[in-house]
Chains A and B, each alone.
Chain A
Amino acid sequence: MGDHHHGPAQGLSRWLFTTNHKDIGTMYLWFSFAMFILGGAFAMIIRAELFQPGMQLVEPAFFNQMTTLHGLIMVFGAIMPSFVGLANWMIPMMIGAPDMALPRMNNWSFWILPPAFLILASTLFMEGGAPAFGWTFYAPLSTTYAPPSVTYFIFSIHVLGLSSIMGSINIIATVMNMRAPGMTYMKMPLFVWTWLITAFLLVAVMPVLAGAVTMMLMDIHFGTSFFSAAGGGDPVLFQHVFWFFGHPEVYIIILPAFGVVSQIIPAFSRKPLFGYASMVYATAAIAFLSFIVWAHHMYTVGMPIAGELFFMYATMLIAVPTGVKVFNWITTMWRGSMSFETPMLFSIGFLVLFTIGGFTGLMLSIAPADFQYHDSYFVVAHFHYVMVAGAVFSMTAAVYYWLPKWCGRMYNETMGKTHFWISFIGFNVTFFPQHFVGLAGMPRRIPDYALQFADFNMMSSIGAFIYGASQIMFLYNVIATIVAGKPTSDEKVWDGAEGLEWTVATPAPYHTFETPPAVR
């Protein structure tokens, strides 16, 4: 392999015009990390303001802009693009394809992302400030009462939605058409499977999000009344449309994370994944159920009792396939010869903390109990357990796991483990107390709070600063590895790792699998 392959172009044009899946994957990963830092900086402002009761640092209006942008940037700018980047890097190498199926579209789907987020971030400097209506942008907050910058927000959502749809079409086209001979669907690595299903979810629901913001645009500028009661519309309709997108969206975020840990846990347990087929079916079941549970986000809007019961039972049903997954991971580790390198630590951290987030999710799914939890810090704690300890931890595990393959250098293991433990402790110190303040009645998205919540909030803020600082250590470790890490040329960096990506040279050459590998 690689007798005549040409290397990358030189200079800036390499990155602007590249159609190479590894280059594009790298750009996605760096872009998402930049957004992670930006969204993290906003979170630090939020936690600094909440360090003590009373108003300290920022105005309430600016605080609302911070919570809104933090959510939007973390969901759409950090987590989603990071997994798309990982998909770009790994899917062709995992299925034995030379590149993505639609390489030029791949270039486009990355390069329209930075302008979208530039527009979103620039609203901070506009008159009336950035969007301040929460990442869920409920009407009429986002229509009648929105700042003028909402139009830029709508445009940026349209663009990033387009990027996601193009990226997903590419992934589906690649997986369906470019698998190496012998790579049947049921032989694909689980990361490829979870991404295939995620991509279908994206193609189905990103247009719904586009529809929601289009309706907002029309209500604001073209005199329609989709969400305005005065004209015969209904603000509750917005919530239905939003969560019809929004619930599949949370699985869009977590399914690739499931895929990652399903690669890593077997590698460091030195056993094949337990229950491969059931993992595939569980993923598909979760994806299907995600379409029929959306109204559990809105139990308090005034639904008929039959509706509340339907959405409650359907939501609880999701615990079954998710439980299948969790038990399969545990069973994979059972009696394996386990070792605890950094990717494994993050994967086990994921498993423990995601399960906690899953349990609080079950609590929230109970319609009568949800009336107490709704819009409280309990919800904030819940979704950070699944988003941060779920998606971000698994993404971090993925970077440590595949970084040596990408750049042919080993990261600093001691620093990696230190990063894990500081992250793990910082994360729990931040978010565990939020369960308590939420149950005691502290609402989410407020810049000030009653005095009895002071101690737990101070703990939360200290934890957040620790967690935030540990990400700088991560950045340092990654850069130090790329620049001066210990070189390695082992094809299998990890002795227990399985899969086609570990059969190519290390570091992974610019072009891989120009002739398809034989898959037994």
Chain B
Amino acid sequence: MIRVSKNPTVDTAAKLVAVAIGMFAFVFVVMVPLYDVLCDALGINGKTDGSQYTSVPVAIDDSRTVTVQFVATNNEGMPWEFGPSVTAMKVHPGAVNDTVFFARNPLSKDMVAQAIPSISPARAVKYFHKTECFCFNQQPLEANAKAEMPLQFIIDQDLPKDIQTITLSYTIFDVTDAVSGSLAAR
């Protein structure tokens, strides 16, 4: 056993202080990153990873058709008009699919938005690959401006056979203040 001090009381107290500091650090160094890692690995929350998928060319599985539904939600207080151009697509696993979401900033001030995706069922998350998505970046929109925001995705051929419908939901957040006034963005 390591001794910090010859005085046993000081020794015990010093070790316990170290434990307390260690547990405080544990929250930031272990719990937070571990939560993100677990969510990514297990697809909890239907979170897709925020990075681009580099596609491997593979055969298109024409024998199966998967319905992909699109849902758009405005976070509380977000005034933009925001939605998918089509609400559902029928796609084959392995094929590259394109669609667009539209957005309009109705206010007379420039704004920045961030869309956060979520996929249901959660089991489908790791089979849903986005090669291009407006959610990878923040979306600035000038006052009264409109935009079409592209989305390109591939459904993996390994998608379990029992999944016939995948719902991709986007919630759009107003991050104007955070962008203009932020000290640090994670």
A binds B: yes
Binding site for B on A (CB under 8 A): 101-102, 105, 165, 168-170, 172-173, 176-178, 203-208, 210-212, 214-215, 222-226, 229-234, 236-237, 240-241, 244, 302-304
CB-CB under 8 A for A230 and B183, given A204-B19, A211-B28: no
10 residue pairs, one from A and one from B, having the closest CB atoms: A211-B27, A230-B173, A207-B24, A207-B23, A223-B182, A173-B12, A169-B16, A101-B9, A223-B183, A177-B8
State whether A244 touches B31 (Cβ < 8 A): yes
| Across-interface contacts of A169 in B (CB, < 8 A) | 12-13, 16-17, 20
State whether B16 touches A234 (Cβ < 8 A): no
State whether A234 touches B9 (Cβ < 8 A): no
State whether A224 touches B35 (Cβ < 8 A): no
State whether A203 touches B19 (Cβ < 8 A): yes
Closest chain-A Cβ to B148's Cβ sits at a distance in Å of: 22
Q: Mark B114-157, 1 if CB is under 8 A from A, else 0.
A: 10100000100000000000000000000000000000000000
Identity of the chain B residue whose Cβ is nearest the Cβ of A237 in the assembled complex: B35
| Across-interface contacts of A207 in B (CB, < 8 A) | 20-24, 26-27
State whether B186 touches A241 (Cβ < 8 A): no
State whether B23 touches A208 (Cβ < 8 A): yes
Stretch at the interface among B37-45, B81-89, B99-107: B37-45
Binding site for A on B (CB under 8 A): 8-9, 12-13, 16-17, 19-24, 26-28, 31-32, 35, 39, 42, 44-45, 47, 50, 75, 114, 116, 122, 171, 173-175, 178, 181-186
Choose from A102, A165, A223, A232 the contact partner of B9 (Cβ within 8 Å).
A102
Q: What would 13 A/B residue contacts be, using CB atoms closer than 8 Å?
A: A168-B16, A169-B16, A203-B20, A211-B26, A223-B183, A223-B185, A229-B75, A229-B171, A230-B116, A240-B31, A240-B35, A302-B45, A304-B44
State whether B42 touches A230 (Cβ < 8 A): no
| Across-interface contacts of B12 in A (CB, < 8 A) | 101, 169, 172-173, 176-177
State whether A224 touches B9 (Cβ < 8 A): no
Q: A172 vs B23: C-alpha distance in the bound complex, in angstroms?
A: 17
Q: A127 vs B44: C-alpha distance in the bound complex, in angstroms?
A: 39
| Across-interface contacts of A231 in B (CB, < 8 A) | 114, 175, 178, 185-186
9 new A-B contacts, CB < 8 A, other than A207-B22, A215-B28, are A173-B12, A173-B13, A176-B12, A177-B8, A205-B23, A207-B23, A215-B32, A230-B116, A231-B186
- Which of the listed residues B12, B45, B75, B173 has the most CB atoms from chain A within 10 Å of its own CB? B12
Closest chain-B Cβ to A154's Cβ sits at a distance in Å of: 14
Identity of the chain B residue whose Cβ is nearest the Cβ of A221 in the assembled complex: B183
| Across-interface contacts of A236 in B (CB, < 8 A) | 45
Choose from A223, A225, A234 the contact partner of B35 (Cβ within 8 Å).
A234
| Across-interface contacts of B39 in A (CB, < 8 A) | 234
State whether B175 touches A230 (Cβ < 8 A): yes
Choose from A102, A208, A211, A232 the contact partner of B186 (Cβ within 8 Å).
A232
Q: A226 vs B16: C-alpha distance in the bound complex, in angstroms?
A: 28
| Across-interface contacts of A225 in B (CB, < 8 A) | 178, 185-186
| Across-interface contacts of B44 in A (CB, < 8 A) | 302-304
Closest chain-A Cβ to B80's Cβ sits at a distance in Å of: 13
Closest chain-A Cβ to B141's Cβ sits at a distance in Å of: 15
State whether B31 touches A241 (Cβ < 8 A): yes
| Across-interface contacts of B173 in A (CB, < 8 A) | 229-230
State whether A223 touches B27 (Cβ < 8 A): no
Q: A222 vs B185: C-alpha distance in the bound complex, in angstroms?
A: 9
Q: A391 vs B56: C-alpha distance in the bound complex, in angstroms?
A: 61
Q: A204 vs B20: C-alpha distance in the bound complex, in angstroms?
A: 6
| Across-interface contacts of B174 in A (CB, < 8 A) | 230
Q: A226 vs B36: C-alpha distance in the bound complex, in angstroms?
A: 11
- Which of the listed residues B23, B114, B178, B182 has the most CB atoms from chain A within 10 Å of its own CB? B23
Identity of the chain B residue whose Cβ is nearest the Cβ of A165 in the assembled complex: B20
CB-CB under 8 A for A237 and B32, given A176-B12, A207-B20, A304-B122: yes
State whether A102 touches B27 (Cβ < 8 A): no
| Across-interface contacts of B75 in A (CB, < 8 A) | 229-230
CB-CB under 8 A for A233 and B186, given A173-B9, A173-B12, A244-B31: yes
State whether B24 touches A223 (Cβ < 8 A): no
Closest chain-A Cβ to B15's Cβ sits at a distance in Å of: 9
State whether A208 touches B27 (Cβ < 8 A): yes
State whether B20 touches A222 (Cβ < 8 A): no
| Across-interface contacts of A208 in B (CB, < 8 A) | 23-24, 26-27, 31
Closest chain-B Cβ to A114's Cβ sits at a distance in Å of: 22
Q: A46 vs B98: C-alpha distance in the bound complex, in angstroms?
A: 56
Q: A208 vs B30: C-alpha distance in the bound complex, in angstroms?
A: 11
Q: A230 vs B122: C-alpha distance in the bound complex, in angstroms?
A: 20
Q: A212 vs B44: C-alpha distance in the bound complex, in angstroms?
A: 21
Q: A229 vs B73: C-alpha distance in the bound complex, in angstroms?
A: 13
State whether A230 touches B23 (Cβ < 8 A): no
Q: A23 vs B62: C-alpha distance in the bound complex, in angstroms?
A: 81
Closest chain-B Cβ to A420's Cβ sits at a distance in Å of: 38
State whether A211 touches B182 (Cβ < 8 A): no
CB-CB under 8 A for A173 and B16, given A230-B178, A231-B186: yes
CB-CB under 8 A for A222 and B184, given A173-B16, A303-B44, A304-B42: yes
CB-CB under 8 A for A232 and B50, given A203-B16, A204-B19, A302-B44: yes
Q: A214 vs B173: C-alpha distance in the bound complex, in angstroms?
A: 24
State whether B23 touches A224 (Cβ < 8 A): no
State whether B9 touches A177 (Cβ < 8 A): yes
Q: A212 vs B21: C-alpha distance in the bound complex, in angstroms?
A: 14
Q: A203 vs B13: C-alpha distance in the bound complex, in angstroms?
A: 11
Q: A101 vs B9: C-alpha distance in the bound complex, in angstroms?
A: 7
Closest chain-A Cβ to B128's Cβ sits at a distance in Å of: 17
Choose from A101, A105, A223, A232 the contact partner of B184 (Cβ within 8 Å).
A223
Identity of the chain B residue whose Cβ is nearest the Cβ of A230 in the assembled complex: B173
Identity of the chain A residue whose Cβ is nearest the Cβ of B46 in the assembled complex: A302
Closest chain-A Cβ to B138's Cβ sits at a distance in Å of: 9
Q: A210 vs B47: C-alpha distance in the bound complex, in angstroms?
A: 28
Identity of the chain A residue whose Cβ is nearest the Cβ of B182 in the assembled complex: A223
- Which of the listed residues A210, A234, A244 has the most CB atoms from chain B within 10 Å of its own CB? A234
Closest chain-A Cβ to B123's Cβ sits at a distance in Å of: 9
Choose from B27, B114, B178, B183 the contact partner of A212 (Cβ within 8 Å).
B27
Choose from A102, A177, A232, A234 the contact partner of B45 (Cβ within 8 Å).
A234
Closest chain-B Cβ to A172's Cβ sits at a distance in Å of: 6
Closest chain-A Cβ to B117's Cβ sits at a distance in Å of: 10
Closest chain-B Cβ to A257's Cβ sits at a distance in Å of: 23
